[in-house]
């Protein structure tokens, strides 16, 4: 009997299967510092204990996407070690703040699977939930991933595609944020004078700056999250694949784009929900990422006067500035420069 894990193939997943992932991961202040070093995120609540305490937090929480990546990374050895690509996200909710010292673990349930027409791969849908060691749910989300089959000749299962929500309802947002003392929200220290009421539905924001992806940074980031997917690490195997080189982890793109969005959305301090997300095209080391956002909706949150929710579409490009807000062509197809289309709710002080 082999003692090594070669990962699950498409045939190994069953609808209703529950997977308890190894290994629990304690979040440290070192993780926060390294996350900042990798992406340059500048949101004040996650950057400053003093700022966070002044508005009602115990101290600065971990960046929401750091929590996401750690919870996600736990799932990789069981879900996507043999993945071709991670395809998308939906129904994500950030449920509680995470602080240094919290230990996170993840449980996933298989909720759908469908073989692709080539007979060599299939798409697996999973709902993953992150918990602290005290049992507090901090995050849940659905993702779907294209996974290789072990045997292309094995019979195709009956397809099961879950019915996923188009968007999280605003009433479900805000549980991960304490009641804020908005009087002590300092616009000078947060880096932006613009608050919830200053944004209009339909408004588009070019985040102006660009960040070039370095191979070493991507490798360090993926190791930070203990994401062991071969497509990100193993140049020996990936040199024989369809791209001839390693793929940049899709979550790395999300974090880069989110960090860039500070320039224009500096007070959008908390990701409250992930409505949907698509990795439209691959990114490679040496490419430069730019980003722009569109305000899709704005909503007050029942029982909250301190924050409002903006539904934002975050679009990332490679090697193309976003002054003309690139997205799709006249036929509704994504332009070749687009790498990410990410729809999420962000909280912002009123």
Per-residue pLDDT tens digits for 90-101: 999 999 999 999
User: Is residue 130 within 8 Å of 71, Cβ to Cβ?
Assistant: yes
CATH of domain 190-213+248-350: 3.10.129.10
Nearest Cα residue to 251 out of 127, 123, 337, 340: 340
Domain boundaries, the chain: 1-151, 190-213+248-350
pTM of the model: 0.94
Level-2 CATH architecture, domain 1-151: Roll (3.10)
Mean pLDDT over each residue of the chain, to the nearest integer:
95
CB 245 within 8 A of CB 325: no
Which whole number is the average pLDDT over 89-113? 97
222-232 per-position pLDDT tens digit: 999 998 887 88
Query: pLDDT-based confidence at 86, cuts 50/70/90?
Result: confident
CA 204 to chain centre: 21
Band of residue 241 on the pLDDT scale cut at 50, 70, 90: confident
Q: Are strands 288-300 and 103-115 parallel, antiparallel or unpaired?
A: unpaired
Q: What is the mean pLDDT of residues 205-224?
A: 94
Euclidean distance between CA atoms 197 and 315, whole angstroms: 22
- Report the pLDDT value the prediction gives residue 251, as an integer from 0 to 100: 92
pLDDT, tens digit (0-9, with 9 covering 90-100), for 271-314: 999 999 999 999 999 999 999 999 999 999 988 999 999 999 99
Are residues 297 and 313 in contact, defined by beta-carbon separation less than 8 angstroms? no
| pLDDT of residue 349 exceeding 90 | yes
pLDDT of residue 230: 79
Segment 154-165 shows an average pLDDT of 94
**Element holding 322 (H helix, E strand):** none
The least confident of 182-196, 197-211, 232-246 is 232-246
Residue 232 pLDDT:
85
Q: How many CB atoms lie within 10 A of CB 162?
A: 16
Pairwise CA distance, residues 332 & 169, whole Å: 27
Q: Read off the pLDDT of residues 14-64 as tens digits, 9 standing for 90 and up.
A: 999 999 999 999 999 999 999 999 999 999 999 999 999 999 999 999 999
Same fold, 1-151 and 190-213+248-350: yes
Band (pLDDT 50/70/90 cuts) for residue 5 is confident
What is the pLDDT, as a whole number, of residue 321? 98
* Overall average pLDDT of the 128-135 stretch: 97
């Amino acid at each position: 009997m082999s003692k090594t894990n070669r990962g699950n193939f498409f045939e190994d997943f069953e609808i209703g299967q529950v997977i308890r992932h190894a290994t629990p991961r304690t979040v440290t202040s070192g993780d926060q510092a390294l996350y900042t070093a990798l992406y340059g995120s500048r949101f004040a609540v996650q950057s400053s204990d003093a700022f966070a305490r002044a508005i009602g937090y115990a101290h600065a929480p971990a960046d929401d996407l750091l929590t996401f990546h750690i919870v996600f990374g736990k799932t990789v050895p069981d879900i996507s070690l043999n993945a071709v690509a991670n395809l998308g996200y939906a129904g994500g909710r950030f449920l509680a703040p995470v602080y240094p010292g919290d230990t996170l673990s993840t449980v996933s349930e298989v909720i759908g699977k469908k073989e692709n027409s080539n007979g060599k791969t299939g798409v697996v849908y999973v709902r993953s939930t992150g918990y602290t060691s005290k049992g507090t749910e901090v995050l849940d989300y659905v993702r779907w991933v294209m996974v290789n089959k072990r045997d292309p000749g094995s019979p195709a299962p009956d397809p099961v595609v879950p019915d996923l929500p188009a968007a999280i309802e605003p009433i479900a947002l805000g549980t991960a944020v304490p009641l804020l003392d908005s009087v002590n929200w300092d616009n000078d220290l947060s880096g932006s004078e613009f608050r919830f009421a200053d944004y209009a539905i339909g408004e588009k924001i070019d985040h102006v700056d660009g960040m070039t992806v370095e191979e070493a940074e991507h490798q360090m980031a993926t190791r930070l999250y203990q994401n062991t997917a071969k497509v990100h690490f193993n140049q020996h195997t990936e040199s024989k694949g369809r791209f001839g080189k390693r793929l940049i982890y899709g979550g790395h793109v999300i974090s880069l784009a989110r960090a860039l969005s500070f320039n224009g959305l500096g007070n959008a301090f908390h990701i409250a929900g992930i409505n949907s997300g698509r990795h439209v095209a691959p990114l490679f080391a040496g490419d430069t990422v730019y980003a722009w956002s569109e305000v899709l909706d704005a909503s007050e949150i029942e029982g909250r006067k301190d924050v409002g929710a903006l539904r934002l579409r975050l679009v990332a490009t490679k090697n193309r500035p976003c002054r003309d807000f690139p997205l799709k062509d006249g036929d509704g197809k994504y332009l070749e420069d687009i790498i990410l289309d990410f729809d999420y709710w962000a909280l912002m002080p009123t």
